[in-house]
Amino acid sequence: MSQYDYLVVGAGLFGAVFAHEAALKGKKVKVIEKRDHIAGNIYTQESEGIQVHRYGAHIFHTSDKEVWEYVNQFAEFNHYINSPIANYKGEIYNLPFNMNTFNKLWGVVTPAEAQAKIEEQRSVFGDKKPENLEEQAISLVGTDIYEKLIKDYTEKQWGKSTKELPAFIIRRLPVRFTYDNNYFNDTYQGIPIGGYTQIVEKMLDHANIDVETGVDFFADREQYLADFPKIVFTGMIDQYFDYQLGTLEYRSLRFETEKLDMKNYQGNAVVNYTDDQTPYTRIIEHKHFEFGTQDKTIITKEHSKTWTKGDEPYYPVNNDRNNRLYKAYKQLADQQDKVIFGGRLGQYRYYDMHQVIVAALQCVRTEVK
């Protein structure tokens, strides 16, 4: 048996919060991470004085004061408010769907006019409960917005027809009858000044925590299981069980990053390409998350792709088939008590950062006595 109380597999946000809190409670924790750096998908790296979000744009947002105060222990946040725009064949629309979007699309000026327009377009469904993403989208914003801003973007992002996708995915986005371009409804929002990596660095900087990067749990799994009294696993739950019940679906991404010799490429941090011809879903211009004034700029084109074994599994695909399979894996997980499964991959949930923090704090409360 090792000197440690816990092995944490994965130095992402879930693993880091768990390790930090367990260490504060006097536990000895070893963290292993298969990538060559800590921080998982929230990893940021400075280049040209700009914090580059290596695994896609990350905006912290929450309405939970406790979570906001928790994360503010590890970084100071700026006042960035996410207001992405959509580019549909050269036409620019504000997101999320709000009076600016409706005005540009239909020329309507008042909320009542916008509501009447949507009501007319959604009447194709009557009062039927939306059963998939397509029905949900049309029922929320009508057919015009669905066709220009949702259908092709969603099919590029998920590689599936909107008819095969769950309705909840589109409900992540607010629909507002005010002229408000804030992508989130949450009370607190911002980007950590100096990037996200420092947050995880500070969480893991404790005498009771040892961290090793470039180490894959599966390279020595039996030894880890023998050596550690408890393991917190934040990798893919189906991989942990050798895919014995079947393979869960994930969506992977390819990031194409370029440094450009200009101050301002697109005038906004996030531009979504909502047509079906542009091969990527969005372009991130990192400096705008922190109001950067550098002479150069760095942009990342985000291409969505089918996940196959060996790719990074960025998104769980929470449709009925996968949720059922996940439940079966969860039953296997519940039949043993050595390994706790946490995070986006361990719990197969489309978690945002604030939700991961809540889940990890809850896990510590129940697990660490």
Footprint of ligand FAD (CB under 6 A): 9-15, 32-35, 40-42, 55-60, 216-218, 234-235, 253, 314, 343-345, 351-354, 356
Q: How many residues bind ligand UDP (CB under 6 A)?
A: 13
Closest CA to 140 of 84, 181, 102: 102
> At its nearest, how many Å lie between ligand FAD and the CB of residue 14?
4
The answer to whether the beta carbons of residues 88 and 149 sit under 8 Å apart is yes
Residue 149: contacted member of ligand UDP, ligand FAD, none (CB under 5 to 8 Å, by partner type)? ligand UDP
329 is catalytic: no
Q: From the candidates 54, 122, 176, 344, which is the catalytic residue?
A: 176
DSSP state string for 99-125: HHHHHHHH---SHHHHHHHHHHHHGGG
348 is catalytic: no
Q: How many CB atoms lie within 10 A of CB 51?
A: 23
261 is catalytic: no
Rounded Cα gap, residues 348 and 362, in angstroms = 17
User: At what angle are helices 111-122 and 133-145 packed, to 10 degrees?
Assistant: 120
272 lies in the binding site for ligand UDP (CB under 6 A): yes
172 is catalytic: yes
Q: Where are the alpha helices (DSSP H) in the chain?
A: 13-24, 65-72, 99-106, 111-122, 133-145, 151-158, 197-204, 221-227, 237-240, 320-334, 343-346, 353-367
Span near ligand UDP by CB under 6 A; candidates 7-15, 150-158, 206-214, 361-369: 150-158
Rounded Cα gap, residues 75 and 58, in angstroms = 15
Span near ligand UDP by CB under 6 A; candidates 19-27, 169-177, 188-196, 321-329: 169-177
254 is catalytic: no
> At its nearest, how many Å lie between ligand UDP and the CB of residue 302?
8
Q: Which residues bind ligand UDP (CB under 6 A)?
A: 86, 95, 149-150, 153-154, 157, 169-170, 172-173, 272, 274
Catalytic residues: 172, 176, 251, 282, 302, 350, 352
